[in-house]
Amino acid sequence: MMEKMIFGRYIPVDSPLHKMDPRAKLLTIIIFIAVVFLADNTLTYGLLAIFTLAAIWLSNIPIKFLFNGLKFLFWIILFTFFLHIFFTKEGDLLYKFGFIEIYQGGLRQGIFISLRFFFLLLVTSLLTLTTTPIEITDGIESLLKPLKKVGFPVHELSLMISIALRFIPTLMDETDKIMKAQMARGVDFSEGTIKQRAKAVVPLLIPLFINAFKRAEELATAMEARGYRGGEGRTKYRLLKWGMIDNIAILTLFILTILLLLLR
Amino acid sequence: MQIVTKDLEYVYQKGTPFEKRALFHINVTIPSHSYTAVIGHTGSGKSTLLQHLNGLLQPTGGEIRIGDLTVTSEKKGKGLKGIRQKVGIVFQFPEHQLFEETVEKDICFGPMNFGATEEEARQQAKTALKLVGLSEELLNKSPFDLSGGQMRRVAIAGVLAMNPDILVLDEPTAGLDPRGRTEIMEMFYQLYQEKGISIVLVTHSMEEASKYADSIIIMHKGTVYKKGTPKEIFSSPAELIDLGLDVPESVRFQLKLEDKIGKEIAEPSLSIDELVENIFAYIKRVNEK
């Protein structure tokens, strides 16, 4: 049921993106998120599209799988697209039907904003698809290290993130299990009026929450039993290695940024 | 009600990089009023097979006939909901599905989903609670205030209250104490004998399988490795041990004893009582010679 979801999922295949240092990936994505907003004409959007497609190609993740997994997010994009089309009233009037008026500016805005959304979604989902949760948090911890000096709890934060990421698949499995158990008791999750469907969620959510709380407590006990005492003096088993690929990635993004600034 | 599978196949996450075949060409028949045990390693496809029995999973190949309803990879078949009432599944650790404020409401949940009135559902809840050996006082308690064993029973009662014709049990005794185990297994056996319902039991315990089931299906790597009566299945214990499966304690004891004395005592004994009888008969035979 939840099989198609690819949110927060890691796909263990071999690719240049998989080999990258998580810090480089995180930096690339942060910069990318910022520069996406620089684009404002066809050429610059084209550049972003090329970058996004290249990243997908380098990740070795089947495109069909990626798109299937993000299908339900496309509805949100479509929704924002229509919002822009119907409510931005700039430029020439293109089409008029009753109270519906579509302006050139609206169409342009709609397409651009949706594309922006689309690029952001694809690139950020590539991060979790090609990086294990542990790598991601190691990367975050390492990038935030300078903040330690001002007393920011870097280690605790990264621990929280890694626990959250770690339990996404577990919760998904459990959702699936409980859904099935309740379906066996006659619940219909896919049919009925909106009210009926909303009601059908209760027998799913309550057990899910109860189990999540129970698990959190067990985890805390297990960590304490194994002598966990926070990040002070703790060494790492996995060391991060910055390589050539990472230099290339950062350089590419640097060039992308300059091009975007020049062409906008 | 009878369940027949024909070349049933199931592939998890078809069309993704996680694609995984779980079932290959399964042909089994679960006749009405039968007690079938399904045994096999973790990952042998037991649980997958079991979720087909009430249409929770749709086969990716072949077909399954549940009563009059046929489910294939193309069509789900109408009346699936009716089937779910007829085929009750008790999943592993069923206490995880409890959610209502009171035990009574939770047990009523199933019957009311299948169209019972509140009055009927309450009546069924009472009967079901009695069947699982809990007292009526618990009806108004929160299910979360109960002990683990009691929660398990309440969850089982929630399925029993639907009055299924076939009861599918996925390791119903996992994590219970020995006494709780026996009580629950005896309760199911009684249901089978007195109410005439069919039982499909997935278990790791060979003792349970040999004691209660009238036929056993051994699953191995997504296929049916062997099926037959407990006598047939346990008559070749070496084969089972090769598969990494266990044999009932009594069979194991007998094997060791026969090994020590270098002679065969009798056919494999499926229970302690039978074993005692067989050894007794053997000693008698030897003494008479």
Cα–Cα nearest to B29, from B180, B228, B169, B193: B228
Examine residue A246 and state whether it is found in any structural domain, yes or no. yes
- Asked if the C-beta of A65 comes within 8 angstroms of chain B's C-beta atoms, the answer is yes
Q: Do B96 and A207 touch (CB under 8 A)?
A: yes
Cβ pairs bridging A and B (under 8 Å): 71
Residue B185 has pLDDT above 50, yes or no: yes
* pLDDT tens for each residue of B44-62: 899 999 999 998 999 999 9
pLDDT at A102: 80
pLDDT at B10: 93
Q: Which domain holds residue A15?
A: 1-131+239-264
Residue B158: pLDDT band (50, 70, 90) is: very high
Examine residue A127 and state whether it is found in any structural domain, yes or no. yes
The mean per-residue pLDDT over the stretch B222-237 comes to 90
Residue B277: pLDDT band (50, 70, 90) is: very high
Examine residue A52 and state whether it is found in any structural domain, yes or no. yes
Q: Do B96 and A177 touch (CB under 8 A)?
A: yes
Which of A61, A188, A207 has its CB closest to that of B81? A188
- Asked if the C-beta of A187 comes within 8 angstroms of chain B's C-beta atoms, the answer is yes
pLDDT at A163: 87
* Percent of chain A surpassing pLDDT 70: 97
- Asked if the C-beta of A2 comes within 8 angstroms of chain B's C-beta atoms, the answer is no
Residue B156 has pLDDT above 90, yes or no: yes
Q: Do A184 and B159 touch (CB under 8 A)?
A: yes
pLDDT at B31: 93
pLDDT at A3: 53
pLDDT at B187: 92
Examine residue A206 and state whether it is found in any structural domain, yes or no. no
Residue B201 has pLDDT above 80, yes or no: yes
Determine which of B57, B99, B102 to mutate to test the interface with A (most A C-beta atoms within 10 Å): B99
Q: Do A177 and B162 touch (CB under 8 A)?
A: no
pLDDT at A165: 79
Residues of chain B contacting A184 with CB distance shorter than 8 Å: 54, 56, 84, 88-89, 91, 159
Q: Whole-prediction pTM value?
A: 0.78
Examine residue A209 and state whether it is found in any structural domain, yes or no. no
Which of B51, B54, B99 has its CB closest to that of A203? B99
As for how many domains chain A has, the answer is: 1
pLDDT at B163: 92
Q: Do B159 and A183 touch (CB under 8 A)?
A: no
Residue B129 has pLDDT above 90, yes or no: yes
Mean pLDDT across chain B = 90
Which residue is closest to A63 within chain B, CA to CA? B16
Examine residue A16 and state whether it is found in any structural domain, yes or no. yes
Residue B216 has pLDDT above 90, yes or no: yes
Q: Which residues of chain A have pLDDT under 70?
A: 1-8
pLDDT at B270: 86
Q: Do A184 and B94 touch (CB under 8 A)?
A: no
The mean per-residue pLDDT over the stretch B242-254 comes to 88
